[in-house]
Amino acid sequence: MQKITDLQPAEVWTLFHEILSVPRTSKKEEKIIAYIEEFARKHDLPCKKDRVGNLLISKPATKGLGDRKGIILQSHLDMVGEKQAGVDHDFDSDPVNAYIEEEWVKARGTTLGADDGIGVAASLAILASGAIRHGPLECLFTVDEESGMTGALGLQPGFLEGSVLLNLDSEDEGEIFIGCAGGVDTVGRLKFKRKRAKRNGQAFRIHVGGLRGGHSGDEIHMGLGNALKILNRFLWNADRRFKISLALLEGGKARNAIPREAGAVITLPAGNSELVRVYFESFEKIMKQEMEAIEPEFHMTMEAAPLPEFVMRKKHQRRLFNALYACPHGVIAMSQEIPGMVETSTNLASIRHTGDDTLEIYTSQRSSVESAKRDIADRMASLFSLLGAEVRHSEGYPGWKPDRRSQVLNVAEKTYRELFQQEPEVKAIHAGLECGLFLQKYPGLDMISFGPTIKGAHTPEERLHIGSVEKFWKFLLALLEAAPRVE
């Protein structure tokens, strides 16, 4: 059986394999930070850390390339930790169990962390090499990209010296990105009243699963199923037919992932239990018909559960079901400037109970138009206010406006064309990149973003295309050697 460390380029895959063994979910990057710091000590390279945990390793230019503009290779250290139901994996301590299947590297039942572990590995491989030619080089490793970009938000002016930044966090080889959407999170915190559940009732646990999930930026336009929206649709209808009471409603995990699974515990009068089962089977059949083309593995289950002690009061329950039914999810507007690109979207990401009488509803909004981003976030705030919830917004991050006149873009296009005898696609992306925040702190930066092909990011279906890593590596090395000269 072929091992990951046998793949080419060996120096990149070997380091990626090491990174897979280091826990590094968002906001828990202590071990990967220590790994990077030790790497710098081992290779006698200067490394500095800022107040939020970002790391910067510097390396002088190789002989003959000292006249080139300083290049910053940037990648983020954290990963999204998602796993399939029933998978025994602790992201705080267990290594990612990766394997090779045909043309892909995958993980068994969990996210792989190629987003952005492969970018980190490529940067480290360049730092470790004595043979790769490059001008003045800095490698920036940011923290907490996936759950709020707090690393990029906390980056201070003066930390970086280079004038050209290569973001290694895009997920389609052969595409060069020169713009991205900005984003913000809107969270509703609902305090609700409870009452004792009737002891002559019956309880059921409802579960929605088998959905693909997906990145709420890259894949929001695909019409993928949202487990929370589907579950609430069932609950909204069942409430009106069978007088159900809600004891628990949870689902989704990551702010930037479309929720794959959701569950609820309900009670109802014992005499209605068979009627609910019949309706449940009918509802599941309808949903399978609606989504069979895009979500072939979708399923729902309904099973008896222990009777809970408390349930939500009817007034709050009705408000919650109505709000979630009305809550927008998906594409809000398409770009008028770039054909086929999503301009504005919103994602109903997760619902969590944070206390016996409190739950939080997490949503994320994206747009390449700042005013439109603010507008959809305000719409979400308005909806949560009608629900009676407290509303808070994250600090958010700005978009990155495309610049077709970019010098490094022109060099990159020429380099790619000469290497592979084909034109790269130059695009903007609806997903969020840290580039907009870098540009706020360093207005003179010239930036592009690229990477190997990653599919299913932020889900247990995440996979990294093996052949694309070799092309990405060749392109990166050629681009370093072709870096623009200081004028």
Both tokens assigned to 467 = 């052949």
Contact between 195 and 381 under an 8 Å Cβ cutoff? The reply is: no
Show the CA angle centred on residue 189, arms to residues 363 and 284, nearest 5°: 55
Alpha helices in 184-313 (DSSP H): 227-242, 273-291
Q: At what angle do helices 227-242 and 273-291 cross, to 10 degrees?
A: 150
Q: Could you tell me if 135 and 483 are in contact, meaning their C-beta atoms sit under 8 angstroms apart?
A: yes
Question: Do the Cβ atoms of 458 and 179 come closer than 8 Å?
Answer: no
Q: Tell me how far the alpha carbon of residue 204 is from its chain's centroid.
A: 32
Using DSSP bridges, classify how beta strands 71-76 and 164-167 pair: parallel, antiparallel or unpaired: parallel
Would strands 201-209 and 299-305 be described as parallel, antiparallel, or unpaired? Answer: antiparallel
Cis peptide leading into residue 9 (ω within 30°): yes
Q: CB–CB of 368/430 below 8 Å?
A: yes
Which among 21, 288, 324 is positioned nearest to 190, based on CA atoms? 324
Give the residue among 284, 4, 286 at the shortest CA–CA distance from 121: 4
Which DSSP letter does residue 373 get?
H
For residue 79, report the phi and psi dihedrals to the nearest 5 degrees.
-135, 160
**Residue positions counted in the chain:** 487
**145 a catalytic residue:** yes
List 11, 138, 145, 250, catalytic entry:
145
Active-site choice (29, 78, 138, 261): 78
The dihedral through the CA atoms of 149, 151, 153, 159 has a sign that is negative
Amino acid at 116: D
Q: Is 78 a catalytic residue?
A: yes
Alpha carbons 278 and 307: distance in angstroms, whole number: 21
* Among the listed residues 81, 310, 324, the one whose alpha carbon sits nearest the alpha carbon of residue 188: 324
- CA torsion 97-102-104-107 (nearest 10°) is -20
Question: What positions carry a catalytic annotation?
Answer: 78, 145
